[in-house]
C-alpha cells in the first residue's frame, strides 16, 4: 500500500537536501567575519605608507617578473603606458642577480604580478595598493584557514573567536597593509601546517600537495618555515605513537605503516622536494651557480638569526644573560588582554584534550611554544626588537584562544544552559575595547601596547626599545600634512633616514622630494621631516641634533600623546636657540698629539662648538683627516663619541675651501679628541686646525 504523504511532511530526499544545505550554509557562515575584515582592510589601504624595504623588494619583483614571463633582462621603456613607479628605478637584472644576500624574491614576484593585473590591466587599484593587495589577500586566506580549522575541531563559536583574535592583534592588522614579508609568511606557515595536518590525519594526498605549495611559497619568501620542522616532528611522533609501546625500529616502522598508507608516506617525503624546487625555480639569481649561491642565502639567515650568545649552551650564564626577555615582555604587552586570558585557558584545555581531534591541540601548543621560544631562548636571535619577525605565532594564538572561548562558554552553560547565548555575547563584547583602541591608533596599530604597561605612553616611559617604531609607515602621515600645508615650489628632505624609504610619488605636484639631506649648517628655507625611530638610533647624528637643537617643529605627528614624526622649516623664524646660526667666532685651543692617531684640542672653557676646519696638502694627512672620528668631553675625563665621520661633511669642507671639516650643533666641551685612521705617518705640523664656535 502506498504511504500517504501529508502536505507539510518532508520526504527523505527533502530532509537529506535540507541537511546538506544547512551544513553548507553553516560552513559558509564561518567565512563571513574574515570577509568583513578583508573588506575593511582593503578600504583602509590608502591610509598606510610603505616600509623602508619596499623599494628593493618591489623593484626586484618587477625585474624578476619581467624575466620569468618574457625572458627579457632589460628594463622596460620609460615611456611604457601605466608604468609602475617601481619600474622606473635605475636598477636592472644585473643588480638583482647580485642580491642573493637577503630574503628570497617569490612574494616580490607575486606582488609585481598583482601590480600588472590590478593596476596596469584592470585599473581597479592604485600603483602602490596593487602591490600591497597581496598582503591583505593572504592575510584573508590565513583567516579563512583558521576559521575552517577551528570550526572542524571545536565548532562555530571557536571559529568566530579565532578570527576575531587574529584580526584584533594590532600588529598584524596594521602591518598587513604595508609589511611585505611577515604577515604573508605567517599565512604561508599556517597553510602549510593545516594542509599537512589534514593530509596526514585524513589520508589526503591532495592536501599534502597543497601543503608542499605553501611550504614552497614560504621558503621562497623567508626561511621561517624551517622552524615548522620541530613542530611537525613532535606532533607527528605523538600522532603516530600515541598509546603505543615501541620496542624496536621494526615496530616503529610498523606503527607508521599502520597509520599511513604508502601514497601518504610518499606525499610527505615529497613535501621538502617540491618546496625546494619552488624556492629555487623562482629565484633566478641562484641559477648561475646553485650550490654557492644557495649556501650564501643560508649563511645570510645564520648571520641575522643565529644566536649571538658567547656562553656555553645550557649553562646558567647562557640562560641568564642570553635569554631574550624583551621578546616575552613584548608578547605580554602587545597582545590584547582578552586574548591573553583566552589563550591561557586554551593552552590548559589543549593539554587536557591532547588525544582528541587527531591531536590537533598538541600541534597548536607545540606551534605556539616553538615560535615564541625560538626567539626567546638563546638558540636564535630576533633582530629589529619586534615580534613582527615571528608573526607565525599569531595563528597559533588565535586557534588556542578559540578553544579557550569554548571552554568558558561550556563551563558557564554547565551551571545554566539558558546562559548559552548570553555568554557568547559576553565574550564577543570583550573584544570591543581592543577594537576601539585600534580605531584610535589608526593607521598606527602596530604601536599598540596593552594596559599592563600603560599603553604606548607607558611603553615609552618604561624605555621599551623602538616603542615608537612604525616600520616606515609614519612617513605617510608626515607627507599628508606636507601635501596639505606646504606651498608649491617647496623642497622636502629627510633629516637622516634612508631616502629611498619615502617614494617621491607620494608628494603632490609642486613639491619636490630631494631624499636624505646633506650636512645642515645654517638657514636654507627647506622643509625637513623625520620619524622619531626610522629603524635605527639616529639621536646622535649631526642633522638630527641640528633640527632638535636649533629648530622648532612646524608640526608633530603624535599617537597617544607620543611623537612619532616631525616636520621642520629650516628658517630663522623657527629658531629656538640663543645662537645665531650664520654667525661664528674662532676659538683658541691648545693642540697636542698624544699618539700617531689621536689629536687633542683643549679649550680654555666650555663653549658652544660649530665646526673644526682642517687644511693640508700632504696626501697622507688628507687621507687621515677625512676618515676621522670625534669625541667630546666637558670634564676632560669622560668622552662621548659622535657617530658622524669627517668624510660626511664634504660639502661643508668644500664651502670653506678646507681639506676636511667636522660640524657640531652647539655642544659645549672643554676638550675635543680627533681619532684618525693609521694610514701612514702624517706630519701633523703640516695640518692647520681651526675651531669655530657659535656667537651668542
The answer to whether 652 touches 542, Cβ cutoff 8 Å, is no
Tell me the C-alpha distance between 330 and 381, whole Å.
15
Angle (nearest 5°) at CA 680 between 676 and 681: 90
Tell me the C-alpha distance between 595 and 598, whole Å.
5
Q: Is 288 exposed, middle or buried (0-12, 13-18, 19+ CB in 10 A)?
A: exposed
Do 486 and 411 belong to one domain?
no
Do 152 and 136 belong to one domain?
yes
Do 95 and 129 belong to one domain?
yes
Q: What is the pLDDT of residue 5?
A: 44
The answer to whether 14 touches 21, Cβ cutoff 8 Å, is no
Mean pLDDT for each 10-residue chunk of the chain (696 residues)? 46 56 72 97 95 88 90 66 82 70 89 95 93 97 97 93 98 95 96 96 95 97 92 91 74 82 94 96 91 88 73 76 83 96 94 76 93 81 70 96 94 83 92 97 96 94 88 93 96 86 91 89 89 72 87 94 94 83 80 76 86 84 79 88 78 80 87 75 80 82
Task: Indicate whether 436 belongs to any domain.
Answer: no
Q: What is the pLDDT of residue 316?
A: 80
C-alpha cell at 415: 551551571
Using N-to-C axis directions, what is the helix angle for 393-415 and 156-167, rounded to 10°? 140
Domain harbouring 684, CATH code: 2.60.120.260
Do 137 and 270 belong to one domain?
yes
Instruction: Please list, in sequence order, all residues whose beta carbon lies within 8 angstroms of the beta carbon of residue 366, skipping any fewer than 6 positions away.
Output: 230, 231, 234, 235
The answer to whether 306 touches 128, Cβ cutoff 8 Å, is no
Task: Indicate whether 441 belongs to any domain.
Answer: no
Task: Indicate whether 7 belongs to any domain.
Answer: no
Task: Indicate whether 6 belongs to any domain.
Answer: no
Do 545 and 603 belong to one domain?
no
Handedness of CA 337, 340, 344, 349 (dihedral sign): positive
The answer to whether 30 touches 159, Cβ cutoff 8 Å, is yes
In the chain, the number of structural domains is: 3
Do 541 and 638 belong to one domain?
no
What pTM, to 2 d.p., does this model score? Answer: 0.89
Do 261 and 114 belong to one domain?
yes
Task: Indicate whether 601 belongs to any domain.
Answer: yes
Q: What is the pLDDT of residue 536?
A: 63
Per-residue HEC secondary structure of 363-429 comes to HHHHHHHHHHHHHHCCCECCCCCCHHHHCCHHHHHHHHHHHHHHHHHHHHHHHCHHHHHHHHHHHHH
Do 478 and 399 belong to one domain?
no
- Final residue in a domain of this structure, among 374, 389, 415: 415
- Final residue in a domain of this structure, among 371, 395, 415: 415
Q: What is the pLDDT of residue 583?
A: 79
The answer to whether 679 touches 623, Cβ cutoff 8 Å, is yes
Do 564 and 622 belong to one domain?
no
Task: Indicate whether 449 belongs to any domain.
Answer: no
Q: Is 260 exposed, middle or buried (0-12, 13-18, 19+ CB in 10 A)?
A: buried
Cis, bond preceding 443 (omega within 30 deg of 0)? yes
Handedness of CA 332, 335, 338, 342 (dihedral sign): negative
SS3 124: coil
Do 229 and 319 belong to one domain?
yes
Task: Indicate whether 19 belongs to any domain.
Answer: no
Q: Which domain holds residue 550?
A: 474-574
Q: What is the pLDDT of residue 384?
A: 55
Q: What is the pLDDT of residue 484?
A: 96
Task: Indicate whether 492 belongs to any domain.
Answer: yes
Could you tell me which of 503, 600, 664, 652 has the C-alpha nearest to residue 178?
503
Do 248 and 274 belong to one domain?
yes
- Final residue in a domain of this structure, among 574, 600, 630: 574
Tell me the C-alpha distance between 229 and 615, whole Å.
61
Tell me the C-alpha distance between 512 and 224, whole Å.
40
Do 674 and 653 belong to one domain?
yes
- For residue 57, what is the enclosing H or E element? helix 54-70
Q: What is the pLDDT of residue 606?
A: 85
Amino acid at each position: 500500500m502506498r504511504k500517504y504523504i501529508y502536505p507539510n511532511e518532508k520526504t527523505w530526499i527533502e530532509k537529506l537536501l535540507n541537511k546538506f544545505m544547512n551544513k553548507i550554509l553553516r560552513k559558509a557562515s564561518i567565512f563571513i567575519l574574515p570577509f568583513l575584515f578583508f573588506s575593511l582592510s582593503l578600504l583602509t589601504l590608502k591610509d598606510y605608507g610603505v616600509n623602508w624595504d619596499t623599494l628593493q623588494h618591489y623593484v626586484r619583483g618587477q625585474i624578476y617578473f619581467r624575466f620569468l614571463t618574457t625572458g627579457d633582462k632589460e628594463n622596460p621603456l620609460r615611456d611604457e603606458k601605466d608604468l609602475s613607479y617601481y619600474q622606473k628605478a635605475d636598477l636592472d637584472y644585473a643588480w638583482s642577480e647580485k642580491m642573493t644576500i637577503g630574503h628570497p624574491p617569490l612574494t616580490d614576484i607575486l606582488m609585481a604580478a598583482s601590480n600588472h593585473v590590478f593596476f596596469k590591466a584592470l585599473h581597479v587599484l592604485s600603483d602602490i595598493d596593487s602591490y600591497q593587495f597581496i598582503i591583505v589577500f593572504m592575510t584573508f586566506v590565513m583567516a579563512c584557514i583558521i576559521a575552517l580549522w577551528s570550526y572542524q575541531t571545536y565548532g562555530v563559536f571557536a571559529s568566530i573567536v579565532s578570527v576575531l583574535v587574529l584580526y584584533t592583534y594590532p600588529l598584524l592588522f596594521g602591518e598587513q597593509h604595508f609589511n611585505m614579508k611577515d604577515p604573508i609568511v605567517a599565512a604561508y606557515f599556517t597553510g602549510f601546517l593545516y594542509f599537512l595536518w589534514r593530509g596526514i590525519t585524513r589520508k589526503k594526498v591532495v592536501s599534502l600537495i597543497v601543503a608542499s605549495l605553501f611550504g614552497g611559497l614560504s621558503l621562497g619568501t623567508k626561511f621561517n618555515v624551517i622552524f615548522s620542522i620541530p613542530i611537525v616532528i613532535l606532533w607527528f611522533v605523538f600522532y603516530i605513537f600515541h598509546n603505543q609501546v615501541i620496542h624496536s625500529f621494526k615496530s616503529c616502522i610498523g606503527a607508521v605503516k599502520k597509520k599511513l598508507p604508502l601514497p601518504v608516506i610518499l606525499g610527505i617525503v615529497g613535501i621538502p622536494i617540491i618546496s625546494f624546487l619552488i624556492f629555487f625555480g623562482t629565484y633566478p639569481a641562484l641559477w648561475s651557480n646553485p650550490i654557492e649561491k644557495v649556501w650564501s642565502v643560508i649563511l645570510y639567515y645564520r648571520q641575522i638569526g643565529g644566536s649571538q650568545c658567547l656562553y656555553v649552551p645550557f649553562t646558567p650564564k647562557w640562560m641568564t644573560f642570553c635569554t631574550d626577555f624583551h621578546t616575552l615582555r613584548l608578547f605580554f604587552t602587545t597582545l590584547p588582554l582578552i586574548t591573553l586570558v583566552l589563550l591561557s585557558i586554551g593552552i590548559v584545555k589543549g593539554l587536557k584534550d591532547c588525544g582528541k581531534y587527531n591531536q590537533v591541540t598538541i600541534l597548536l601548543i607545540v606551534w605556539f611554544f616553538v615560535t615564541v621560544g625560538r626567539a626567546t631562548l638563546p638558540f636564535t636571535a630576533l633582530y629589529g626588537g619586534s615580534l613582527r619577525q615571528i608573526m607565525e605565532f599569531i595563528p597559533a594564538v588565535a586557534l588556542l584562544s578559540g578553544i579557550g572561548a569554548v571552554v568558558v562558554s561550556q563551563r558557564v552553560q554547565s551551571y545554566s544552559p539558558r546562559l548559552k547565548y548570553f555568554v557568547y555575547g559576553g565574550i564577543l563584547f570583550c573584544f570591543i575595547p581592543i577594537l576601539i583602541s585600534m580605531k584610535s591608533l589608526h593607521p598606527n596599530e602596530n604601536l599598540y601596547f596593552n594596559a599592563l604597561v600603560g599603553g604606548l605612553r607607558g611603553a615609552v616611559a618604561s624605555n621599551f626599545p623602538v616603542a615608537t617604531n612604525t616600520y616606515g609607515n609614519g612617513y605617510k602621515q608626515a607627507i599628508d600634512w606636507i601635501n596639505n600645508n606646504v606651498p608649491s615650489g617647496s623642497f622636502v628632505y629627510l633629516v637622516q633616514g634612508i631616502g629611498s624609504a619615502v617614494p617621491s610619488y607620494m608628494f603632490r605636484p609642486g613639491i619636490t622630494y630631494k631624499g636624505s639631506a646633506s650636512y645642515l649648517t645654517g638657514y636654507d628655507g627647506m622643509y625637513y621631516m623625520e620619524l622619531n625611530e626610522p629603524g635605527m638610533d639616529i639621536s646622535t647624528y649631526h642633522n638630527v641634533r641640528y633640527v632638535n637643537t636649533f629648530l622648532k617643529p612646524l608640526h608633530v605627528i603624535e599617537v597617544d600623546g607620543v611623537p612619532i614624526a616631525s616636520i621642520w622649516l629650516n628658517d630663522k623664524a623657527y629658531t629656538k636657540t640663543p645662537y645665531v646660526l650664520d654667525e661664528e667666532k674662532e676659538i683658541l685651543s691648545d693642540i697636542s698629539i698624544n699618539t700617531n692617531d689621536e689629536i687633542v684640542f683643549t679649550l680654555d672653557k666650555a663653549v658652544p662648538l660649530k665646526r673644526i676646519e682642517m687644511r693640508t696638502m700632504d696626501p697622507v694627512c688628507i687621507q687621515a683627516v677625512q676618515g676621522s672620528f670625534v669625541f667630546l668631553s666637558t670634564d676632560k675625563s669622560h668622552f662621548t663619541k659622535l657617530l658622524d665621520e669627517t668624510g660626511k661633511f664634504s660639502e661643508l669642507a668644500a664651502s670653506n675651501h678646507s681639506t676636511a671639516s667636522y660640524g657640531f650643533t652647539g655642544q659645549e666641551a672643554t676638550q675635543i679628541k680627533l681619532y684618525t685612521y693609521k694610514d701612514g705617518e702624517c706630519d701633523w705640523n703640516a695640518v692647520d686646525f681651526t675651531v669655530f664656535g657659535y656667537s651668542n
